[in-house]
């Protein structure tokens, strides 16, 4: 999880495609790697601004789109406001609380993930299955502990 190792991955991918290694790209990548979580573009901007003041939102968007093409990040559309950008690319679902809007990672079984990747198998070439679960989180659930 050190910056150097993380950087190396990005640098290699950029070199492969003849794209430039900029401080913006490095800092955004480090931020995403350290916080292994889903963030909005605005949240990325705020976090990254600490290490790189003056960075702009369009640059954040452009960089995140680039990272998505490089397979370093996934877009998650919850429909509730802003898109999320998730640096965890291994299979998992996202649980969104209807009340507080909090988004948490949910593990899904290997079998389940595999099944989703083969859904509509014949004529659709599946790339990635995104699962968003709607409901109420522990803090907002009406019954039980609250």
Is 13 among the residues that bind a second copy (CB under 8 A)? Answer: no
**What phi, psi does 93 have (nearest 5°)?**
-110, 170
Look at the chain and count its residues. 146
Shortest Cβ 138–DNA spacing (Å): 24
C-alpha distance from residue 145 to each of 8, 15, 137, 138, 140 (Å): 46, 53, 11, 8, 10
C-alpha distance from residue 67 to each of 16, 27, 44, 61, 74 (Å): 14, 13, 13, 10, 8
Residue selected from 55, 72, 96, 103 as contacting DNA according to rule CB under 7 A: 55
92: number of Cβ within 10 Å: 13
Is 127 among the residues that bind a second copy (CB under 8 A)? Answer: yes
Choose the contact partner of 68 out of a second copy, DNA, none; CB within 5 to 8 A by kind.
Answer: none
Is 37 among the residues that bind a second copy (CB under 8 A)? Answer: no
| Closer residue to a second copy, CB minimum distance, 27 or 60 | 60
Is 120 among the residues that bind a second copy (CB under 8 A)? Answer: yes
Choose the contact partner of 21 out of DNA, a second copy, none; CB within 5 to 8 A by kind.
Answer: DNA
52: number of Cβ within 10 Å: 16
For residue 27, give both structure tokens.
């800092």
The residues of the shown chain that bind a second copy, judged by CB under 8 A, are 75-80, 83, 93, 95, 97-98, 104, 106-109, 112, 115-116, 119-120, 123-138, 141
């Amino acid at each position: 999880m050190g910056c150097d190792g993380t950087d190396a991955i990005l640098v290699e991918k950029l070199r492969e495609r003849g794209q430039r290694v900029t401080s913006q790209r490095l800092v955004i990548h480090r931020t995403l790697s350290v916080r292994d979580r889903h963030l909005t573009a605005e949240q990325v901007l705020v976090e990254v601004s600490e290490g790189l003041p003056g960075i702009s939102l369009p640059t954040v968007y452009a960089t995140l789109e680039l990272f998505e093409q490089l397979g370093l990040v996934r877009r998650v559309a919850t429909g509730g406001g802003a898109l999320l950008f998730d640096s965890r690319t291994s299979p998992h679902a996202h649980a969104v609380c209807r009340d507080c809007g909090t988004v948490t990672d949910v593990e899904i079984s290997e079998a389940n993930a595999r099944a989703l990747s083969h859904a509509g198998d014949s004529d659709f070439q599946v790339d990635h299955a995104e699962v968003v679960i709607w409901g109420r989180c522990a803090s907002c659930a009406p019954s039980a502990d609250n």
